[in-house]
Amino acid sequence: MPPRRALPRSSTGYHGVQLRLSGRFAAEITRGGERFWLGTFDSAELAARAYDVMVWRYDGGAGPRNFFDVDNLVAAEFVAPPFSVVNRAEERAACREYMRMSIRNRDEAEMAAFRAAHPQHVAEELDFYAQLAIVQDTYAYKRRH
């Protein structure tokens, strides 16, 4: 049920809810100049319920809400779907970590393909580093004695 007060400018009819190109509904809230991402949901109502939980947490229900049948935070959390709150810095950090892991996984896959295609290079490299370790150990032994 859309809000009884003035409708927000959102095409969904709910405060803090936008329709994504994927067909899912995104919920976010801005407080104190910081944007908090609540996630994407299967329906606009579920996204609006998550938004209302955050209104109750930040404003004690005094901010623009979507549902007026809920009169406290506990009731709002009971009817809302599970979600996690992510601010912009956490979102960027997660994106960087995802990119780092993606590059790492791609590098490992390419190295495995290289090893399979060129076993002689791998053997030569292992031999080189084994000889290098011997030279370094010899040098360290001479420095100590």
Task: Among 84, 113, 129, identify where a domain stops.
Answer: 84
Contact 35, 27 (CB under 8 A): no
Instruction: Provide the pLDDT for residue 65.
Output: 86
Longest dimension (CA), the chain: 87
Q: Supply the pTM of this predicted model.
A: 0.56
Alpha helix (H) residue ranges in 5-87: 44-59, 73-79
Rounded percentage of the chain residues whose pLDDT exceeds 70: 93
- The Cα–Cα gap between 52 and 28 comes to 10
Structural domain boundaries, residue 38: 17-84
- 95 and 57 part of one domain: no
Instruction: Provide the pLDDT for residue 5.
Output: 55
pLDDT tens for 1-57 read 555 555 455 678 899 999 999 999 999 988 888 888 888 899 999 999 999 988 888
- 77 and 23 part of one domain: yes
Instruction: Provide the pLDDT for residue 43.
Output: 92
Instruction: Provide the pLDDT for residue 110.
Output: 93
The CA radius of gyration of the chain, in Å to the nearest whole number, is 28
Name residue, tokens 């901010």.
Answer: 63
- The Cα–Cα gap between 28 and 88 comes to 11
Task: Among 84, 107, 136, identify where a domain stops.
Answer: 84
- The Cα–Cα gap between 95 and 145 comes to 52
Instruction: Provide the pLDDT for residue 62.
Output: 79
- 49 and 105 part of one domain: no
- The Cα–Cα gap between 3 and 74 comes to 20
- The Cα–Cα gap between 85 and 28 comes to 9
Contact 29, 16 (CB under 8 A): yes
Task: Among 33, 54, 84, identify where a domain stops.
Answer: 84
pLDDT tens for 61-96 read 778 888 888 888 888 888 887 777 777 788 788 888
pLDDT tens for 93-117 read 888 898 989 998 999 999 999 999 9
- 74 and 94 part of one domain: no
Contact 78, 49 (CB under 8 A): no
- 107 and 72 part of one domain: no
- 57 and 25 part of one domain: yes
